[in-house]
Structure 1
Amino acid sequence: MRLDQKVIIITGSCTGIGKGIAKRCVAEGARVVIHGLEPELGQELVQELGPDNAVLHIEDLATEGVAERLVALAVQTFGRLDAVVNNAAIVASSNLKTTDLAFFRRMLEVNTLAPFALIKAALPQLQQNRGCVLNIGSVNGWSGEPDLLAYSVSKGALMTLTRNLGDTLAREAGVRVNQINPGWVLTENEARRKHEQGLAADWYKDISPVFAPAGRILWPAEIAAAAIYWLADESGPVSGQIVDLEQYPLIGRNPPKN
């Protein structure tokens, strides 16, 4: 097993990509701290994974001291901490006209500052076990869509955090920090958001090849499969890297003509 006996905190893991990563981590031999804001869904996942393999913490990441509580729960429950997956994020539409400072601050607090706080709180344990951090960003972090202003900025800042700490912590503490940037993923929340925006309930079954050359968008399990490499020892000394997980190139692409 690629993650045998490793203990991993995965934020935002009651649903979506985080849930997929948690399930794959346990399948690879890890024990996980499940985190999110949906207690019933979290409990269901813990039962599915097995109480010996998973423990649940429900709390808003913007709350003071949550990072320290997550680390303490991992150590108290499983005796160690080997990795952190900063997956939780607010995904919400906004542009220059609709973005006020309160909204922007909330977005940065959860999507950028919370990952920083958790890395900082976990560092003593990660250094002791020569562990690692995996940040889950977004391809929108490179510039973003017109109506994803605040979200895109928060993910762009996360990329800079990853590159900076991936360099410094690898040299100073033996802790690797990397990031994967998923493209369009069919999570429960994404399916609901698009339906609420006026699309049909089964909108994901008929997507333009401009956006999905493969005829479908990505699945959480596919992001989870990629995450395992970065959490496993097989990724060796690689640190400070950003990897886009999308089905077409972001630079130099020639979209098909309709």
Structure 2
Amino acid sequence: MRLKDKVIIVTGSTMGIGKAIAKRVVAEGAKVIVHGLEEDLAIQVVAELGAENARLHIEDLSNEGAVQRLVDLAISSWGRLDAIVNNAAVVAASTIDTTDKAFLNRMLDVNTIAPLFLIKAALPPLIESHGAVLNIGSINAWSGEHNLLAYSISKGALMTMTRNLGDSLFREHGVRVNQINPGWVLTEKEIERKREHGLADNWYKDLSKLFAPAGRIIWPEEIAAACIYWLSDESGPISGQVVDLEQFPMIGRNIPKDASTIPHK
């Protein structure tokens, strides 16, 4: 077991990528704090993982003191904290015309500011355990789609934060900070968003190779599998790194001239 006896907080772990990560870290021997807003789904996740392996915290991360309460729950439950996975995020479409200050602030609060202050709250026990931080970003951090402006800004800021803290925290305290940027992943939320756009529930079964060279998009479990390396001791002294997990290169990809739009991720 690659994470035996480690204690890990995974934010946004009631569904999608976060749920897959929570399940995988427990399978690798860790204890996990399950976090999210959907209490009914969270209860199901904890039941699936087993009460001996998981604890539950339901709260908006932008609430005052929320991140400290997550850390306190880990310590009170198992006496230590070895890693945090900043996965929780708000994903919502916006352009420069539809992005107002309140919308951008909400996006930044959850996607960028909350991860920063969870790292800060978790730093004392992470220093003690020589622990790790894994931020879950997005390939939209590099520039983003035209209708994901505010989301892309928030993920770009998260990526800069990862590189900054990945140097300073490891150099000063021995705490590694790295990031995964997933591409297009088949989550429950993605299916719901496409339904809202008028697509059939099985839209993902017949995708153009233009957008998905494999003929399908990425499964949450595939992202979770990649996370284990960064959360385990196997990644050694590697810190401040950002890894894109997509089917095609984000820089230098040749898009046919007749491709007018790319679906949201």
Q: TM-score range by the shorter chain?
A: over 0.9
CA distance in 2: counterparts of 1:95 and 1:198, whole angstroms? 20
- Could you tell me which runs of 5 or more consecutive residues in structure 1 were left unpaired when the two chains were aligned: none
Q: Aligned ranges for residues 154-233 of structure 1 at < 5 Å?
A: 154-233=154-233
Identity over aligned residues, as a percent? 70
- Could you tell me which runs of 5 or more consecutive residues in structure 2 were left unpaired when the two chains were aligned: 259-265
CA distance in 2: counterparts of 1:5 and 1:132, whole angstroms? 14
Q: SS at 1:181's partner residue?
A: strand
Deviation at 1:79, TM superposition (A): 1.1
CA distance in 2: counterparts of 1:11 and 1:111, whole angstroms? 11
Residue 45, structure 1, aligned to residue 45, structure 2? yes
- Report the equivalent of 2:262: none
CA distance in 1: counterparts of 2:257 and 2:102, whole angstroms? 41
CA distance in 2: counterparts of 1:157 and 1:257, whole angstroms? 31
Aligned length: 258
Q: Aligned ranges for residues 1-258 of structure 1 at < 5 Å?
A: 1-255=1-255
CA distance in 2: counterparts of 1:5 and 1:211, whole angstroms? 40
Q: Deviations over 1:79-130 (max 9, x none)?
A: 1100000000000000000000000000000000000010000000000000
Deviation at 1:254, TM superposition (A): 1.9
Aligned letter for 1:195?
A: R
Q: SS at 2:212's partner residue?
A: coil
User: 8 Å contact 1:209–1:256 — kept in the other structure?
Assistant: no
CA distance in 1: counterparts of 2:257 and 2:205, whole angstroms? 21
Deviates more, 1:204-213 or 1:149-158: 204-213
CA distance in 2: counterparts of 1:11 and 1:64, whole angstroms? 16
Deviation at 1:240, TM superposition (A): 0.1
User: 8 Å contact 1:183–1:244 — kept in the other structure?
Assistant: yes
CA distance in 2: counterparts of 1:201 and 1:26, whole angstroms? 30
CA distance in 2: counterparts of 1:200 and 1:141, whole angstroms? 28
Q: When the two structures are superposed, what TM-score results if normalisation uses the length of structure 1? A: 0.99
Aligned letter for 2:245?
A: L
Q: Deviations over 1:184-228 (max 9, x none)?
A: 000001111111111111111111111100000000000000000
CA distance in 1: counterparts of 2:167 and 2:224, whole angstroms? 24
CA distance in 1: counterparts of 2:116 and 2:252, whole angstroms? 32
Deviation at 1:255, TM superposition (A): 3.6
CA distance in 1: counterparts of 2:116 and 2:221, whole angstroms? 26
* Structural RMSD (CA): 0.9
CA distance in 1: counterparts of 2:225 and 2:257, whole angstroms? 32
Aligned letter for 2:145?
A: E
CA distance in 1: counterparts of 2:69 and 2:191, whole angstroms? 31
CA distance in 2: counterparts of 1:67 and 1:161, whole angstroms? 17
